[in-house]
A and B are shown apart, each in its own frame.
Chain A
Amino acid sequence: MQKTVAEINEKIKSGKAVVFTAEEIISVVEEKGVKKAFEEVDVVTTGTFGPMCSSGMFINFGHSNPPIRMNKVTLNDVPAYAGVAAVDAYIGATEMSERLGMQYGGAHVIEDFIKGKDIVLSAESYGTDCYPRKDIKTTINKNNVNQAYLFNPRNCYQNYAAATNSTDKIMYTYMGTLLPEFGNVTYSTSGELSPLLNDPEYRTIGIGTRVFIGGTQGYVAWEGTQHDPDQERLENGVPVGGAGTLALIGDAKKMSSRYIRAAIYEKYGVSMFVGVGIPIPILDEDMLMKTAVRNRDIQTVLVDKSGRENLNIKVNYEQLRSGFVEIRGNKVHTVPLSSIKFAREIASELKRQVQQGEFLLTQPVEMFNKKGHRLNKLEDREI
């Protein structure tokens, strides 16, 4: 038996859809068995809330009088990319303040913008016949600009290597503070709640999929950068380490600062917590089984961030979440970097929205490539 997205949407519209979060579905399948659970369940909701550096926001400021063709733009002293049309710019999450360095960055501008605060816009130009003005300094906020949408080239990494440090010095990384001599292990996914770990073979998530992003509804725009579906996989289809990624888009004006939070990693730089949730239509028994994946069924590799040692250790998320893993006979403290609490909150909120008919599911316009492009490396090539 099969269900279609259209049939599931009819049930959602009539308020009769049966929805569970990706954590709840595990015991539902255990108790009822796959066959019975499939007959009853329509949708499983996922969630993740982790630091995602590859994020940013396009803004159109509107035209001033006289008009300016902005070619150098800062927002609260953080440079934004203005090499697009006259009053368009892209503020990247990891860009740092010219004045405060990594104490304040693009992610802070985005969070302040979402909160509705005034942002100081400063722009310069060389002046043209059609855009004579050479500079402007003013304030903008989400009520007086035109479009403002997050366009995140890479979110929702399907899985991610856990990090440790073999050297005798502390390392400050985007994977948090790594203590010397394998002093700790950090990891960053929401495991059995994570969107792409519940649809490991991209059967329901593709281009055009509607998603919860930053508290509003957005879409999957494309495969994310570094999308790598050919990653080694377990029998259940789950990749061991980084694999699929999503490029996401959503209206920043409608987002909530609860689910978009600027982050600073000591001596590394700025990043941004992005809250994402994706509902998965339970089209068949296989899809149900995929969403019933448990932390113990998801493995990742352990990587020495100094690059000195090839540890060749695989761990599963049940072990990582237990608080300790073993490295060469020693118990090492494990540390999450992605908020499980907020991931749960997002999956539950999405469940409520689907149950109440506020969130309809989508059939992707196009599915992702499932094979055939391993990651390229950047070589030093002769010029």
Chain B
Amino acid sequence: MKTIKVSLHYSLNSITTPVVSNLIRKFNVEVNILHANISLNKIGTLIADITGEEKDIQDALAYIEKQDGIRYKVFNNKLIWQEEDCVHCGACTAVCPSNALTMNKDTWCLEFSKEKCLVCGLCTKACPLNVMSLQA
């Protein structure tokens, strides 16, 4: 079993395909939606963790590729937080879209949840001390 993080980009009018449902039913993978911004007649984005056997995941990705108007991207990066150089100011929490970066309201230390991280990289630019970076 392994888990990959993917983003799906929907062009206009492509959201009528029940992609997530098909992934689960046809390819025996688990799909955990982390972020979704999808509306009728609009382009949309969905970010999810897909967990399953290597072959099932590859088949699932091949299935997505065949869909008209839907592209996918696998996140190969991970976010590296150099905690020892962090001053815990909180500036990165301004841009984190998934609440992976939050301030602990007792200690006022920054807390990072790897599971919630979308690896979008916004925090790497918002951090004034340059302690956030993406690594392949």
Contacts and interface: CB of A to CB of B under 8 A. Distances in A.
Contact of B89 (A179, A262, A322, A336): A336
A296 interface: no
A contacts with B: majority SS: strand
A363 B124 CA distance: 45
B94 A176 contact: yes
Given A323-B105, A335-B94, A176 B126 contact: yes
A339 interface: yes
Given A177-B94, A179-B94, A336-B89, A341 B107 contact: yes
B87 A261 contact: yes
A337 B87 contact: no
A341 B88 contact: yes
Contacts of A340: 88, 108
B82 to A, nearest CB: 13
Contacts of B109: 341
A337 B130 contact: no
Contact of A335 (B87, B93, B107, B128): B93
B91 interface: yes
A266 B125 contact: yes
Nearest to A186: B94
A337 B95 contact: no
| Chain A interface size range | 20 to 34
Contacts of A186: 91, 94
Nearest to A263: B128
A339 B108 contact: yes
A256 to B, nearest CB: 13
Contacts of A323: 103, 105
Contacts of A294: none
Nearest to B124: A266
B90 interface: yes
B129 interface: yes
Contacts of B91: 176-177, 186, 265, 335, 337
Nearest to A321: B105
Interface in A237-287: 261-266, 271, 273
A341 B108 contact: yes
Contact of B108 (A273, A322, A344): A344
Given A321-B105, A344-B108, A339 B129 contact: no
B5 to A, nearest CB: 23
B87 A342 contact: yes
Contact of A339 (B89, B94, B125): B89
Contact of A265 (B87, B88, B95, B128): B128
A51 interface: yes
Given A323-B103, A338-B89, 10 more contacts: A176-B91, A177-B125, A178-B94, A184-B94, A264-B129, A322-B105, A333-B94, A335-B94, A337-B91, A339-B88
Interface of B: 87-91, 93-95, 103, 105, 107-109, 122, 125-126, 128-130
